[in-house]
Amino acid sequence: MSSDHSAQSATSAVSMGAVADLFDPAKYVMGDSVGYLMSRAKNMLTHSIEQEVSSLDITHAQASCLITLSSGRAGTVTDLGRELNTDMGSITRLLSRMEKRGLIERTRRDDDRRVLDVSLTPAGQAIVEQLPAVFCKVMEKHFRGFTVEEVETLRGMLRRMICNNSG
């Protein structure tokens, strides 16, 4: 075994022990919990986005749905539920409201009638085109005082967390 590999293994073992110490139940303080702080930050972002998108006469959930469809990350009702971490009943009600407003269309597939494809209408696309400015305005507010490096570090850490918990 190379000395580089031994050093890397030792570093991994030390850092795993350090992580275990960070998440020791005996030392748990809710207000200092990384999970609690992430949840609070997410709730604050959600609230700010909700306020901003209200001028477009949509909700945060509708904005998330529209941008997810537009990005190609989902194209069916099931995909949207999974991507937005929303149960099928809630996603169905959300889509029904959006369809009534003319923002999306649902189409049953000819080859598999169980599958409902979801697509943006021109009205939905018109709103999607305004969303990046809304999202960026909110992010600028919440990341005021951060350096580019700090934001990139956070982004990298969040991606690592997502990878740690993927499949």
| 98-124 pLDDT tens trace | 999 999 999 999 898 889 999 999 999
- Residue 133's Cβ-count burial label (10 Å; 0-12, 13-18, 19+) is exposed
Provide the pLDDT confidence category of residue 165 given band limits of 50, 70 and 90. confident
Query: Which residue in 22, 21, 40, 53 sits closest to 131, CA to CA?
Result: 53
What's the pLDDT score for residue 127?
97
Domains and CATH numbers, the chain: 34-164 (1.10.10.10)
pLDDT given at position 15: 59
Q: Alpha-carbon torsion 149, 61, 116, 121, what sign?
A: negative
> Is residue 83's pLDDT more than 50?
yes
Q: pLDDT tens digit string along 6-49?
A: 444 444 544 566 777 778 888 888 888 899 999 999 999 999 99
Answer for the pair 49, 138: CB distance below 8 angstroms, yes or no: yes
Q: How far is CA 70 from the centre of its chain?
A: 15
Strand 104-108 to strand 116-120: parallel, antiparallel, or no bridges (unpaired)?
A: antiparallel
User: What burial class does residue 140 get, using C-beta atoms within 10 Å of its C-beta: 0-12 exposed, 13-18 middle, 19+ buried?
Assistant: exposed
- Structure tokens given for 73: 């990350």
Q: According to the model, what pLDDT value does residue 24 have?
A: 87
% pLDDT > 90, the chain = 73
